[in-house]
Amino acid sequence: MTFAGKVWRLLVGIKDALALLFLLLFFLALYAALTVRPSPGAVRKGALLLELDGSVVEESSEVDPLQLILSSDLPAREYQTRDLVRAIDAAAGDERIRAVVLDLSRFLGGGQVHLEEVGAALDRVRGANKPVLAFATAYADDALLLAAHASEVWVDPMGGAAIMGPGGERLYYAGLLNRLSVTAHVFRVGTHKSAVEPFLRNDMSPEARADAQALNSALWAEWQADVKKARPAAKLDLVTRQPVEWIAASKGNAARAALAAGLVDRIGDRAAFGSRVAELAGKDTWSDAPGAFASTDLAPWLAANKAAKPGKAIGVVTIAGEIVDGDAGPGTAGGDRIAALLDDALDDDLAALVVRVDSPGGSVMASEEIRRALLRHKARGIPIAVSMANVAASGGYWVATPASRIFAQPDTITGSIGIFAVVPTFEKLLGEWGVTTDGVLTTPLSGQPDLAAGLTPETSAMVQSVIEDGYARFLTLVSRARGKSPEEINRIAQGRVWDGGTARQIGLVDQYGGLDDALAWAAGKAGLKDGEWHARFLGSGSDPYHSLLREMMGSGEAQTRAPALDMVALLATRQQGMTQQLARDAQRLLSASGAQAYCLECPPQRLPAPREAKSGLVSLLGTWLRD
C-alpha cells in the first residue's frame, strides 16, 4: 500500500503540475491577445514611423505555427502595399502627423510596381507640404527607389549606397544531370518557353537571352526614370557606369560617395537623424534616448484609419505568388482556396469584381479552377477587370482571360503564354549500379512512367500531345479574350515575356493603371459614382493568431528584428537568392507536378507549401511516380 500510495501521489502531482502549466499558458496567451492588437489610442502627434524591416508584397503570407515551433527564427515581416499606401495617404491629410519617416536599415525590398505605388503616395505627402525623411545604413536599388521620394535622405557614416540594376546569373543543371545520369523528360510548347531550359542546357538559349535582355532593359529604364524624376540631381550614369571610379573619388568612403552622387542628402548616425526628425515632428516626451522623436507606428495608425466602406461593394480577389493546386495561401495562390473565396462571394451582391494578379503562374489545373470561378461571376453580368501588379505571366495571364479590361503598369511583367511539364527518370543512374528492370506489360502504358526503365515512346508522345492541347487551349482563351485570332496570339505567345508597355502595344493589356484605376473603371461600368462604392478584399480578414504567434515566439517586438545591413552585408544578401533558386528548381523537377504555365524570367516567388495533386493527366503520371 505504501508503494501504491507513492505512485498515486506522484500521478496526482504530475496532474496538478500539468494543470498549472496549461493554466499559465492560457493566461499568457490571453495577455498576449489583449496586448498585441494595435490600438487606435496609441496614435501620437509627431511623425508616422514606417520601419520597413521586411519586404513589401501584394499579399502577406500566414504564419505557420509548426514552422515557428521548429525554427529559432521568425519569418521575415511582410508589408502589404495597399496598407502602406493607405497609411501614407491618411498621414498626408491628418494634422497630427507632421512628417513621414522611413527606416530602411532592414528593408528587404519589393516588386518595382509596388515600390512605385508607395513612392507615389510619399509624393502626395510632400504635396501636402509635409516632409518625408529616410534613413538607412546602406541603400540598394529597392531602398533607393523608395528613398528617392523623400525630401531628406540620410545614410549612416559607416554605410553607403549601391545601384546594381536588374538581371544576373541563374543556375543550369544539364551538366549535373548528365553527370548523375538522370534523365529529365521535358514536354513543352513555345519557342520562348524557357522555364525548362535549366534542365536541358548549360546556358541560355538565344531566344531566352533576347527575352531577358528586352525585359530587364525595360525595367531598368523605368527604374531610372522614376528615380531621376524624384531626384533630378542624382548622378545615375556615374554610379552605374563607372562604379569603381565613383567610389575611388571618395577614397573608398561609400557614404561620402553616395552624398557626392546625389543619392543621399546627409550623412549621420541614427541619433543625429532622430534629432533632425525631432526638430520637424517634435521631441519624444516618453523617452530620453538619443535621437528619440514623437512618432506613431504603422499598426496603430492603420487601426485608427480604417478604410471607408460607403455604398455597394466591389470585390477584389488577390492572386499572389505561385499558382498551385490545393488550399495554399495567402501569399501563395492555392487554386482551390481562391476558387472557394470567389464562390463564397457569389451571394454577396457584388457590384463588380477586380482581379489583382501578382503571379508568375504555376499549375495549369489550378489556374483553370480560378478561371472557371471567375466565369461564374461573369455569368451574373457584373463587370470584371484585371489589375496586374509586378507580374502576371503564364498562369497569371491565364486567370486574366475572363476580364473585360486589363490594367498594367509599364514595368509589369506579363505574357509567357505557353505550358510545359517535366518528368525525371533514373534508368541510366540505376543501370550504372547494376539495377535492371524486367516485367510483363499488358499495354504500352503499363507501369509508366517507370523510374528505372524510363518512359516508353507512347508515354512521351501522349504527354506531349496533352501539353500541345493545353497550349492550344491557352491560345484560344487569350484570342477570345483579346478579340484576336489564335494565329495572331500565337505570334506573340510562344512563351515570350513582355513588359507592360510592350504588352499594351501588342494588345495583351488594355491600358496603364494600378488597382485604383481598375476599381474606378469597374465602378463606372457598374453605374456607380464616387462615394457610392468601396473595395472589399475577399478573404482578407486578418487572423488574430498570427500577431499572437509572432509575439509569443518573438518575446516582444525588439526580439524579431534582424540587424541593420551595412554595405558588405547588403551585397551578400543578394546572393542568398541563388540557394533559394536551387531549392525552387529542385522542387520543380522532383515534385511530380502537372502541366505548368510558369515564367522563368519573372522575379522569384515564395516556395509553395506541400499540396495535394490535382487529377490532370500529367499530374496523374506524377502520382504514379510517387507510388
- Reply yes or no on whether the pLDDT at 246 is more than 50: yes
Position 57 scores a pLDDT of 95
| Alpha carbon distance 520, 530 (integer Å) | 8
Phi-psi region of 172 (alpha: psi -120 to 50; beta: other; left: phi over 0): beta
| Mean pLDDT within 518-532 | 95
Cis peptide before 449 (omega within 30 of 0): yes
Confidence of residue 600 (pLDDT cuts 50, 70, 90): low
| Mean pLDDT within 297-306 | 93
Position 112 scores a pLDDT of 95
Residue range 63-114, pLDDT digits in tens: 666 555 555 556 678 999 999 999 999 999 999 999 999 999 999 999 999 9
Cis peptide before 444 (omega within 30 of 0): no
Q: Quick one: which of 390, 395, 387, 389 has its CA closest to 415?
A: 395
Position 3 scores a pLDDT of 64
Buried b (16+ CB within 10 A) or exposed e, 457-472: eebbebbbebbeebbe
Confidence of residue 307 (pLDDT cuts 50, 70, 90): confident
Picking from 279-288, 416-425, 470-479, which range would have the lowest pLDDT averaged per residue?
Answer: 416-425
Position 604 scores a pLDDT of 61
- Helix segments in 311-447, DSSP class H: 335-344, 364-378, 395-398, 427-432
Between 40 and 169, where is the model more confident? Answer: 169
| Mean pLDDT within 42-63 | 90
| Mean pLDDT within 592-617 | 55
| Mean pLDDT within 376-387 | 96
Between 114 and 602, where is the model more confident? Answer: 114
| Mean pLDDT within 390-412 | 95
Residue range 542-582, pLDDT digits in tens: 554 555 554 444 444 434 455 666 666 555 565 555 556 66
Q: Which residues are catalytic?
A: 193, 394
Position 570 scores a pLDDT of 57
| Mean pLDDT within 137-163 | 96
Confidence of residue 439 (pLDDT cuts 50, 70, 90): confident
Position 487 scores a pLDDT of 93
- Reply yes or no on whether the pLDDT at 174 is more than 70: yes
Position 515 scores a pLDDT of 96
Helix (H, G, I), strand (E, B) or coil at 173: coil
Position 623 scores a pLDDT of 45
- Give CA separation, 129 vs 3, 122, 347, in Å: 82, 11, 45
Residue range 341-350, pLDDT digits in tens: 999 999 888 9
- In percent, how much of the chain has pLDDT > 70? 80
| Alpha carbon distance 599, 196 (integer Å) | 10
- Reply yes or no on whether the pLDDT at 372 is more than 80: yes
| Mean pLDDT within 497-502 | 94
Position 505 scores a pLDDT of 95
Confidence of residue 367 (pLDDT cuts 50, 70, 90): very high
Confidence of residue 167 (pLDDT cuts 50, 70, 90): confident
- Give CA separation, 430 vs 452, 453, 455, in Å: 7, 9, 15
- Reply yes or no on whether the pLDDT at 532 is more than 70: yes
| Alpha carbon distance 621, 98 (integer Å) | 61
Position 488 scores a pLDDT of 93
Residue range 261-271, pLDDT digits in tens: 999 999 999 99
Position 553 scores a pLDDT of 45
What is the layout of strands, in order, in the sheet containing 46-51? 266-267, 152-161, 132-139, 97-103, 46-51, 295-297
- Please report which helix (H) or strand (E) contains residue 1, including its range: none
- Reply yes or no on whether the pLDDT at 171 is more than 90: no
Position 1 scores a pLDDT of 52
Structural domains in the chain?
Answer: 43-163+231-304 (3.90.226.10), 312-541+575-602+609-626 (3.90.226.10)
| Highest mean pLDDT (candidates 181-185, 323-327, 443-447) | 323-327
Between 612 and 544, where is the model more confident? Answer: 544
Position 625 scores a pLDDT of 40
Position 170 scores a pLDDT of 84
| Mean pLDDT within 583-612 | 58
| Mean pLDDT within 454-475 | 87
- Please report which helix (H) or strand (E) contains residue 148, including its range: none
- Please report which helix (H) or strand (E) contains residue 41, including its range: none
- Reply yes or no on whether the pLDDT at 453 is more than 70: yes
Residue range 127-141, pLDDT digits in tens: 999 999 999 999 999
Confidence of residue 609 (pLDDT cuts 50, 70, 90): very low
C-alpha cell at 60: 502577406
- Please report which helix (H) or strand (E) contains residue 454, including its range: none
Position 612 scores a pLDDT of 41
For 609, phi then psi, to 5°, come to -70, 155
Position 610 scores a pLDDT of 39
Position 153 scores a pLDDT of 97
Average confidence score pLDDT of the chain? 84
Position 96 scores a pLDDT of 95
CB under 8 Å to 34, separation ≥6 — which residues? none
| Alpha carbon distance 151, 264 (integer Å) | 10
Q: Which residues pair with 57 in a beta bridge?
A: 80
Helix (H, G, I), strand (E, B) or coil at 110: strand
